[in-house]
Amino acid sequence: MIVLGIESSCDETAAAIVNDKKEILGQSLLSQEEHKVFGGVVPEIAARSHLDHIDEIIEHCIKKSGISLKDIDTIAASSGPGLIGGVVVGVMAAKALALALNKPFVAVNHLEGHALCARLTSNVEYPYLLLLVSGGHCQILIVKDVGDFERLGTTIDDAAGEAFDKVAKMLNLGYPGGPMIEKMASVGNENRFVLPRPLHNSGDCNLSFSGLKTAVRKIIESYAQDGNIAHTIINKQDTADICASFQYAATRSLCEKLELAIKIFKQKYPQGKDLVVSGGVAANTYLRSHLKELAEQNGLIFSAPPIQYCTDNGVMIAWAGLERFAKGYTNELDFKPRPRWPLDENAPKAAGAGGVKA
């Protein structure tokens, strides 16, 4: 079984071809640089850039794979949630190919792409506990099967990646902020600034990052003579200490909530053995090492996709598409891309029933 997957839901235009032997036959990815000057993704610019590049990205991917178009069994596209202009570009490209080749189309939930990716790169089995941390989402879920998720907790305000990006912006570290915060934090003192423990006593698996962000803002403002964040001058070591303290606080918060989630998971699914982290923030090696420790302390096996497959890519969409297709879940060509699409909304329907529709 061979699947072509297309990703265009944010600022990466990507395509990949995978097979059911878990081989990545070809892939190609373009990270849009246009947004850097704006300190965040500009939806209109993103959509135009996807439109300009999608054909060459798909062509390049197919060429690299060395396979012929007729050997592809199905075409999958990230069909939401995401920036709708970009999602439409990828979905239209996938539908056009599906129509021209007379192959099925599979609408993949972008979050399911992140969620299932570790099954391609490691030996992860259902059911597993998942921490999904990206630029737009932060959730703790039990993944019971393809399209079958149980959400244990979610952020009540900012996503984890969003918090990294906002802190980086306040420190003028550029966009995306996560990689720069991690780099600076590696030479910083994480005990220098004491930051709050959001929802520490809430007794549930929900998370919050906006209080942490505000606490960091106050520290930064304290460096400005007039209290205006735009007038701060912070030396490199202090910046590194702020980054390290923030990264520590965010990681501690994620680990605390996961500890509770592990208890629930084990109670509900004693046979479950895996803890997985995925999404852009899962690229953070400090977070990965703490999660590994947590998993081992609790008798679970820790898995995460290789760093390059944590942030958005075509491989995860192709793989999720393959898992869906293998179960007989395909979508009609009138499937409407979805700007919002909660993972735990509904289980998929079998082929012929039109799959999950808006």
Q: Which residues bind Zn ion (CB under 5 A)?
A: 134, 312
3-class state of residue 115 by DSSP: helix
Closer CB to ligand KG4, 62 or 248, in the complex: 248
Closer CB to Zn ion, 112 or 312, in the complex: 312
Q: Which of residues 169-228 bind ligand KG4 (CB under 6 A)?
A: 176-179, 182
Least separation, in Å, of the C-beta of 171 and Zn ion?
A: 23
Closer CB to ligand KG4, 147 or 178, in the complex: 178
Give the strand pairing for 148-154 and 128-133: unpaired
Least separation, in Å, of the C-beta of 133 and ligand KG4?
A: 8
Q: Which does 7 bind (CB under 5 to 8 A by kind): Zn ion, ligand KG4, none?
A: none
Q: Are 157 and 137 in contact (CB under 8 A)?
A: no
Least separation, in Å, of the C-beta of 173 and ligand KG4?
A: 10
Least separation, in Å, of the C-beta of 314 and ligand KG4?
A: 12
Give the count of alpha carbons within 13 A of 48, CB side only: 8
* C-alpha dihedral sign at 206, 302, 147, 307: positive
Cα–Cα distance for residue pair 279/281, rounded to 1 Å: 6
Closer CB to ligand KG4, 19 or 251, in the complex: 251
Single residue of 13, 19, 134, 154 touching ligand KG4 by CB under 6 A: 134
Q: Which of residues 287-346 bind ligand KG4 (CB under 6 A)?
A: 311-312
Nearest to 14 by CA among 61, 51, 47, 68: 61
143 bridge partner residues: 128, 149
Identify whether 176 is preceded by a cis peptide bond (ω within 30 of 0). yes
Is 10 a binding residue for ligand KG4 by CB under 6 A? The answer is yes
Cα–Cα distance for residue pair 130/229, rounded to 1 Å: 37
Q: Which does 283 bind (CB under 5 to 8 A by kind): Zn ion, ligand KG4, none?
A: ligand KG4
Residue 207: exposed, middle, or buried by beta-carbon count in 10 A (0-12, 13-18, 19+)?
A: buried
Closer CB to Zn ion, 86 or 188, in the complex: 86
Q: Which does 311 bind (CB under 5 to 8 A by kind): Zn ion, ligand KG4, none?
A: ligand KG4
Is 158 a binding residue for ligand KG4 by CB under 6 A? The answer is no
Q: Which does 161 bind (CB under 5 to 8 A by kind): ligand KG4, Zn ion, none?
A: ligand KG4
Closer CB to ligand KG4, 169 or 327, in the complex: 169
Cα–Cα distance for residue pair 73/243, rounded to 1 Å: 46
Is 136 a binding residue for ligand KG4 by CB under 6 A? The answer is yes
The 3 state secondary structure assigned to 236-297 is: HHHHHHHHHHHHHHHHHHHHHHHHHHHHHHHHHCCCCCEEEEECHHHHCHHHHHHHHHHHHH
Q: Which does 113 bind (CB under 5 to 8 A by kind): ligand KG4, Zn ion, none?
A: none
Which residue type, as a one-letter code, is found at position 113? G
Nearest 5°: phi and psi at 295?
Answer: -60, -45
Q: Which does 278 bind (CB under 5 to 8 A by kind): Zn ion, ligand KG4, none?
A: none
Single residue of 57, 118, 281, 318 touching ligand KG4 by CB under 6 A: 281
Interface size with ligand KG4, residues (CB under 6 A): 19
Single residue of 279, 305, 314, 337 touching ligand KG4 by CB under 6 A: 279
Which window, 132-140, 144-152, 200-208, 336-344, contacts ligand KG4 (CB under 6 A)?
Answer: 132-140
Nearest to 169 by CA among 284, 39, 59: 39
Least separation, in Å, of the C-beta of 354 and ligand KG4?
A: 26
Cα–Cα distance for residue pair 85/62, rounded to 1 Å: 24
Cα–Cα distance for residue pair 160/132, rounded to 1 Å: 9
Q: Which residues are at the interface with ligand KG4 (CB under 6 A)? A: 10, 134-136, 161, 164-165, 176-179, 182, 279-281, 283-284, 311-312
